[in-house]
């Protein structure tokens, strides 16, 4: 998606380009949900002096339609630039197809002498970049080197990008993913079973088999029920749960609508994400927003917000024993679960609220524009 941002005061106009879709969908990925939340905040003028337009560069449905969406995106940017209605383009960037599309968008911006900001959100962009061949690697280097500003989601990603393109270092901004505020939950009534939630694409990267194995080690404990939403290798997950005799304790519904997922989170006690590779998953931010205790692995930008024993429990990726023990601790220790959930909510209020995110993002645009204009 391309959100086009135009700033009225100070007197400059800017654009945003991202990779989500205009319609909310949990199957569309975290950046799409972030854009869904950001759009009404900016369009309603909650951040003074900025106007924004969103344009989709990859549509829902067949991948064969992507060139048509991309062509419309390029035409829109070119027309806005021609009539001087845009000052800066913000490009949401992930790996694979997203990277190839955004290389074209960034190239057009350079041809139009239109500054752009890159917003790196891909969970495994580092491996994509490291494995890129000569021409592709050089093209990616060029795209980053010429960006007016690069936004990353955490410290690990800042260090990775600055190592790849050292000259970019001073122009890298850390801006964690944010979500709208669902409000603090009221006190929960005690119940026999605690609700455990996982959300993500089922498969090796997300550690879904390890989670099933950890839950299998808790089969003798009747105090839990788990729901694992998401697409990917769903049938493998179901088969693994059945083989461990916990199929009646683990619901695996596939992707579910936003409203249904939010209801699931509202009722959750624990969110588990045993990933091997991440950027900053929105499901953790959404759990923090609700004061849900989180168990996660120290990958991507997660160490920036999930501190072991402080705002969550941290286990090493692939350590099924530690994962099972962490879940067991939270099931048995109500005080620990409550303390971690409250600490997560405090992290959310200070760093991950959508209003804070919108202000910081607009400030990054202004800084990028000022830097290009030589006024900073």
Q: Tell me the pLDDT band of 13, cut-offs 50, 70 and 90.
A: very low
> What's the pLDDT at 7?
30
Average pLDDT of the residues in 193-208: 96
Does the pLDDT value for residue 17 go beyond 50? no
Three-state SS at 313: strand
Burial class (CB in 10 A: 0-12, 13-18, 19+), 369: buried
d(CA 271, CA 200): 11
Q: Tell me the pLDDT band of 188, cut-offs 50, 70 and 90.
A: low
Consecutive H or E run containing 273: strand 270-273
Task: Kindly report the backbone phi and psi dihedral angles of residue 293, in degrees, each rounded to the nearest multiple of 5, phi listed first.
Answer: -65, 135
d(CA 272, CA 348): 17
Bridge partner residues of 3 (DSSP): 54
Cα-Cα-Cα-Cα torsion 216, 204, 28, 5, nearest 10 degrees, comes to 120
Burial class (CB in 10 A: 0-12, 13-18, 19+), 181: middle
d(CA 351, CA 285): 10
Average pLDDT of the residues in 90-102: 92
Does the pLDDT value for residue 212 go beyond 90? yes
One DSSP character per residue, 98-148 reads HHHHHHHHHHHHHHTT--EEEEE--TTHHHHHHH--HHHHHHHHHHHHT-S
Per-residue pLDDT tens for 288-329? 999 999 999 999 999 999 999 999 999 999 999 999 999 999
> What's the pLDDT at 4?
41
> What's the pLDDT at 218?
97
> What's the pLDDT at 42?
87
Cα distances (Å, whole numbers) of residue 61 to 64, 66, 255, 288: 9, 9, 16, 32
Q: Tell me the pLDDT band of 25, cut-offs 50, 70 and 90.
A: very low
Q: What percent of the chain has pLDDT over 70?
A: 89
Long-range contacts of residues 315-318, Cβ cutoff 8 Å, at least 24 apart? 315/274, 317/207, 317/210, 317/274, 317/275, 317/276, 318/207, 318/210, 318/276
Output the six-digit token pair for 27: 């199957």
Per-residue pLDDT tens for 223-233? 999 999 999 99
Q: For the chain, where are the alpha helices, taking DSSP H only?
A: 30-43, 66-82, 97-111, 125-131, 134-145, 155-164, 208-216, 234-243, 258-266, 282-289, 320-332, 334-347, 354-373
> Mean pLDDT lowest for which of 79-93, 214-228, 325-339?
79-93
Does the pLDDT value for residue 371 go beyond 90? no
Q: Which residues of 281-317 are buried (b: 16+ CB within 10 A; e: fewer)?
A: bbbbbbbbbbbbbbbbbebbbbbbbbbeeebbbbbeb
Per-residue pLDDT tens for 106-135? 999 999 999 999 999 998 999 999 999 899
Could you give the angle at the alpha carbon of 52 between the alpha carbons of 48 and 54, nearest 5°? 155
Cβ atoms within 10 Å of 109's Cβ, excluding its own: 26
Q: Tell me the pLDDT band of 184, cut-offs 50, 70 and 90.
A: confident
Three-state SS at 61: coil
> What's the pLDDT at 139?
96
Task: Kindly report the backbone phi and psi dihedral angles of residue 168, in degrees, each rounded to the nearest multiple of 5, phi listed first.
Answer: -80, -15
More confident residue, 175 or 23: 175
d(CA 15, CA 2): 8
d(CA 65, CA 369): 33
Per-residue pLDDT tens for 313-370? 999 999 999 999 999 999 999 999 999 999 999 999 999 999 999 999 999 998 888 8
Q: Which residues contact 313 (CB under 8 A, 6 or more apart)?
A: 293, 294, 295, 296, 326, 329, 330, 340
């Amino acid at each position: 998606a391309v959100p086009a941002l135009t700033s009225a005061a100070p007197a400059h106009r800017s654009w945003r380009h991202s990779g989500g879709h205009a319609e909310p969908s949990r199957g569309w990925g975290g950046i799409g949900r972030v854009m869904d939340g950001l759009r009404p905040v900016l369009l309603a003028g909650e951040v003074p002096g900025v106007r924004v337009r969103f344009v989709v560069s990859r549509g829902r449905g067949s991948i064969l339609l992507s060139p048509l969406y991309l062509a419309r995106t390029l035409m829109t940017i070119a027309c806005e630039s021609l009539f001087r209605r845009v000052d800066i383009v913000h490009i949401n960037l992930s790996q694979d197809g997203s990277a190839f599309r955004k290389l074209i968008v960034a190239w057009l911006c350079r041809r139009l002498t239109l500054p752009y900001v890159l917003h790196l959100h891909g969970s495994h962009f580092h491996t994509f970049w490291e494995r890129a061949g000569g021409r592709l690697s050089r093209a990616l280097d060029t795209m980053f080197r010429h960006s007016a500003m690069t936004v990353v989601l955490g410290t690990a990603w800042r260090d990775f990008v600055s190592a790849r393109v050292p000259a970019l270092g001073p122009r890298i901004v850390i801006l964690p993913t944010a979500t709208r505020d669902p409000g603090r939950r009221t006190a929960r009534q005690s119940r026999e079973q605690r609700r455990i939630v996982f959300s993500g694409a089922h498969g090796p990267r997300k550690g879904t088999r390890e989670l099933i194995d950890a839950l299998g080690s808790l089969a003798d404990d009747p105090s839990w029920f788990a729901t694992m939403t998401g697409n990917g290798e769903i049938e493998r997950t179901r088969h693994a749960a059945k083989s461990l005799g916990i199929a009646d304790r683990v619901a695996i519904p596939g992707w579910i609508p936003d409203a249904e997922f939010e209801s699931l989170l509202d009722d959750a006690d624990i969110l588990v994400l045993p990933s091997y590779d991440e950027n900053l998953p929105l499901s953790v931010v959404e759990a923090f927003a609700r004061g849900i205790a989180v168990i996660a692995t120290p990958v991507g930008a997660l160490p920036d917000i999930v501190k072991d024993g402080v705002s969550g429990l941290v286990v090493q990726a692939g350590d099924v024993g530690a994962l099972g023990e962490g879940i067991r601790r939270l099931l048995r220790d109500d005080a620990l679960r409550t303390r971690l959930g409250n600490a997560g909510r405090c992290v959310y209020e200070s760093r991950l609220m959508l209003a804070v995110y919108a202000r910081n993002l607009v400030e990054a645009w202004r800084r990028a524009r000022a830097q290009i204009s030589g006024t900073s």
